[in-house]
Amino acid sequence: MKKKQLAKLQQQFQPSFKSTQAKVFHMMEKKIDERYGFKIETFMQSERPDELIIRRLDLDQGAKDKEINIPLDENFTDVIKRIQNGEKSLGELFSDNLAQEVASFWPSTKGQPQTEKTTVKQGNTDATESSSEASESMKFIAFKKAIENYANFYIETDKSHYQIKEQTKTESRLLATISVQSENDYTIEPALNRKYKLKLELIPLIEAFAQTPLEDR
């Protein structure tokens, strides 16, 4: 069989983007049920194609936190396309990450309780490994420049915190805060945790700066 014919045949049998996305969501639903002890359903509405709606099925209809909405950015789309193209093991890993992130919105799970705002002291495994590449001591000027290398990212400072933000088309979105007054005291917001690629680059930077002695910043 000629290469062009083989490529065309493979393309015909490749799952669609929507079916790949649906499979990932189904895997996430199953893992949340098995690991955290509650059931969810996920769906999208035609008028809001860039937003995933997640409904917790075991909560009363009028419960304040029965549903959450998660924006789906270009990083999410890129990962789904890579899974669609057959990147080995990515679907399993990605659904694992999604399950953990979604479960963190509800603290009363059978897994390790988490809050919507996760205060990080040691960081996750990937970030900890990556942080070894960051400088042990980081000046504020260097940290600010590193953050601003990302499009629309910037830092605001008040008396108690450095605030890492992203300017979107509609709002200024808080991604993380670092204490001005104490070392190794910082918070990673859900908005940053949802940026599946960027968080692996940014969290080590945040950790490095937060761990820098105050007099060395």
Which strands make up the sheet holding 153-157, listed edge to edge?
118-120, 186-188, 172-179, 161-167, 153-157
Look at residue 38 in the predicted model and tell me its pLDDT: 92
Q: Which phi and psi (to 5°) does residue 177 adopt?
A: -130, 145
Q: Which residues pair with 48 in a beta bridge?
A: 45
Relative orientation angle of helices 17-36 and 90-103, to the nearest 10 degrees: 50
Distances, alpha carbon 144 to alpha carbons 130, 140, 202, 214, in Å: 19, 6, 12, 15
Termini Cα distance of the chain: 63
Tokens standing for residue 198 = 């960027």
The Cα–Cα gap between 193 and 211 comes to 20
Reported confidence tier of residue 12, pLDDT bands at 50, 70, 90: low
Output the pLDDT for position 117.
Answer: 40
pLDDT for res 170: 86
Other C-beta atoms closer than 10 Å to the C-beta of 175 total 24
Task: Out of 70-84, 108-122, 200-214, pick the least confident.
Answer: 108-122
> Averaged over 114-139, what is the pLDDT?
43
- The pLDDT mean for the chain works out to 80
Whole-number percent of the chain with pLDDT over 90: 36
Q: Between 166 and 125, name the one with better pLDDT.
A: 166
Is 125 a residue whose pLDDT tops 70? Answer: no
The pLDDT of residue 108 is: 56
Q: In terms of pLDDT, which residue wins out, 128 or 187? A: 187
For position 70, what pLDDT does the model report? 86
pLDDT reported for residue 118: 39
Q: Which residue has the tokens 């679907």?
A: 91
Structure tokens at 91: 């679907």
Render pLDDT for 38-76 as a digit per residue (tens, 0 to 9).
999 999 888 888 899 999 998 888 888 899 888 888 889
The predicted pLDDT at position 40 comes to 95
The token pair that represents 74 in the structure block = 């270009």
pLDDT computed for residue 39 by the predictor: 93
pLDDT at 128 over 50: no
Neighbouring C-alpha atoms within 13 Å toward the C-beta of 204: 16
User: What confidence score (pLDDT) does residue 13 get?
Assistant: 54
Annotate 18-45 with b (16+ C-beta within 10 A) or e (fewer): eebbebbbebbbebbeeebebebebebe
d(CA 117, CA 103): 12
- What tens digit of pLDDT does each residue of 194-209 get? 776 677 778 888 988 9
Tell me the mean pLDDT in the region 126-137. 41
Of 36-45, 118-127, 186-195, the poorest mean pLDDT is in 118-127
